[in-house]
Amino acid sequence: MTPRTHVPSMGDARSPEATQLALPGVVESLSHRYVRSGPDLVHEIVVGRRTFTSSIRLESTDPTDDLLGAWWKAYLRGVRPDTNARGPAVRVAELFCASGGLVLGVDQAARELELGVRSIAAVDQDEEALAIYRRHNSTSVTTTKSVSTLVDYRVRGQGEDCTFVYEPELVDPEWSDLVGSIDVLLAGPPCQGHSNLNNRTRRNDERNALYLTVPAIGVALRAPIVVIENVQAVVHDRKQVVQSAIALLERAGYSVTTHVLRAAELGWPQRRQRFFVVARRDRPPLPLAEVSRVFSAEPRDLWWAIGDLEHHDSDHFMDQQPELSEENRRRIDWLFDNDEYDLALDQRPTSHRNGTTYNAVYGRLRPDQPSPTITTGFMTPGRGRYIHPTQRRVLTAREAARLQGFPDTYDFTVRRGAPPSKAKLSKWIGDAVPMPLGYVAAIAALAPGWPPTTHRS
C-alpha cells in the first residue's frame, strides 16, 4: 500500500548526519546517533532544532564497535536509559493489548524523547494476559469486555468513501470517563482473518471488522494520536478495512501515515514485518517510511540475541524445553547428523513428500542470520524454522521472547506466581510486536512535538 504521506528521498539513512524531511512547519530534520562518553553510551535524537539525549552505563563486556547492538543488549537485560525528562507523561490506552509488546517500543521511544509514559487503560479478553500487562504497566483501568461493546458507532460505505453515520460515543462507563484524557490510543486488532495460513476465510473474516472499532474509539476518546498495527496482508482485506479506517480518521481531522515496518531493516535479529497506521490530529506525524529509513541498520544475527543461552541450565518455565514426539526427535537428529538446515523430503510427514510450499517447516535456525518470523508455533518443529542451531531442540520461551523484544526481566507468571500454560505462553510471545517496530511508530507519532496542542486536561 502506498504511504499516505509523501516526501522526497532522503539519501543514506545510516549516516549520523542530519537527514532532511520535507515537513515545513513541523520539523526541519531528523537524525540520530550513538556515541561513547567514558563509561556511558549516549543516544542523541535530533528533531529540527531540538536535541534529545539519553544514556546507559555500559558493562565492561559490551562491545565498542557495535553501539546500537550494545544499546539493545542493555535493553534486553532490563536497563532503561537515563534521561532529563522534561515533557509531561504520554497517557496511553491500548486495545487488544495481550500481555504487552507494542507498548514496550512506545515506552522506549518516549523515554528517549525525554518523555514519560503513563498507562491509563487496556483491553483484552484474555484475563491472564491482561493481568500481566497491568502488572508491568501499572494500568489504571482494565477490562476483558469485547472492544466492540465499548463504543457505539455505525459506518456507511467502505474504502475511501467510508464515513461515520454519527459521532462515535463510548458507552462503557469507565471508558466514557476517559474522554479527553488519552494522548495515544494503541491497537493491534486480531490478525488471524488476514493470515496467509488461514485458507478458509482469508481476507473475508468477520474478525477483520474489529479493525474499524479502533478509529471509532480513537475519535470518541478525542485521542490526538492513534497507532494501529497488523499483518501486512491486512491491506488486501475484501472489505477494505484499512482504507476505511484511514478515511474515517482523515474525516475526523487526523493526518495519516502508513508503512510496512520490517524489524530486520531496523537492525533487529528477526525478519518480522507489520503494517502500521499512525494518525495524529493536531499536526502531521513524521512519515513512517522516512523515520524507518533514518533508523535503519544492518540486522543483527540470531546468535547476537540468544548465543549466551546456548547451554543455559534453568528450571524456570521460560527455559524449559517442550516435549517432542519421537518422530520430531528423529527429524532433529537427522538435521544434526547430516549437518543440514532443511529437512529432506523423505524425512518429512507423508503429506509433505511430494513437495511443500512451507520449506522452512522442520527447519534448523542459522546462527549467522536473523531469525524468521517468530509465531505462536515456535515450540513446535512442524510449524516453522524453530530448531536451535547448535542444540537438538526447539527454541525456548526465553529465546523467542528476546527475539520479540521482551527483556529478560519481563515476568510472564500469572496468578500467585504460577507459570502460564505453554499454549498461552507461546501465544503471548508469538503474537507480540517486536520492540523496534513500536519504537519507530512512536518516534513518528511523538517527535513532531509534545504535548499535543488539541488538549491537555
> What is the set of active-site residues?
191
The three-state (H, E, C) secondary structure of the chain, written as one string: CCCCCCCCCCCCCCCCCCEEEEECCCEEEEEEEEEEECCEEEEEEEECCEEEEEEEECCCCCCCCCHHHHHHHHHHCCCCCEECCCCCCEEEEEECCCCCCHHHHHHHHHHHCCCCEEEEEEECCCHHHHHHHHHHHCCCEEECCCHHHCEECCEECCHHHCEECCCCEECCHHHHCCCCCCCEEEECCCCHHHCCCCCCCCCCCHHHHHHHHHHHHHHHHCCCEEEEEECHHHHHCCCCHHHHHHHHHHHCCCEEEEEEEECCCECCCECCEEEEEEEECCCCCCCHHHHHHHCCECCCCHHHHHHHHCCCCCCCCCCCCCCCCHHHHHHHHHHHHCCCCCCCHHHCCHHHCCCCCCCCCCCECCCCCCECCCCCCCCCHHHCCCECCCCCCECCHHHHHHHHCCCCCCCCCCHHHCCCCHHHHHHHHHCCCCHHHHHHHHHHHHCCCCCCCCCCC
Q: What does the alpha-carbon distance between residue 255 and residue 225 come to, in Å, rounded to a whole number?
A: 10
* Terminal Cα distance for the chain, rounded: 36
Q: What does the alpha-carbon distance between residue 294 and residue 54 come to, in Å, rounded to a whole number?
A: 18
Q: Which three cell numbers stand for residue 370?
A: 536473523
Q: How many CB atoms lie within 10 A of CB 255?
A: 18
Please say whether the beta carbons of 223 and 252 come within 8 A.
no
Q: What does the alpha-carbon distance between residue 88 and residue 195 come to, in Å, rounded to a whole number?
A: 38
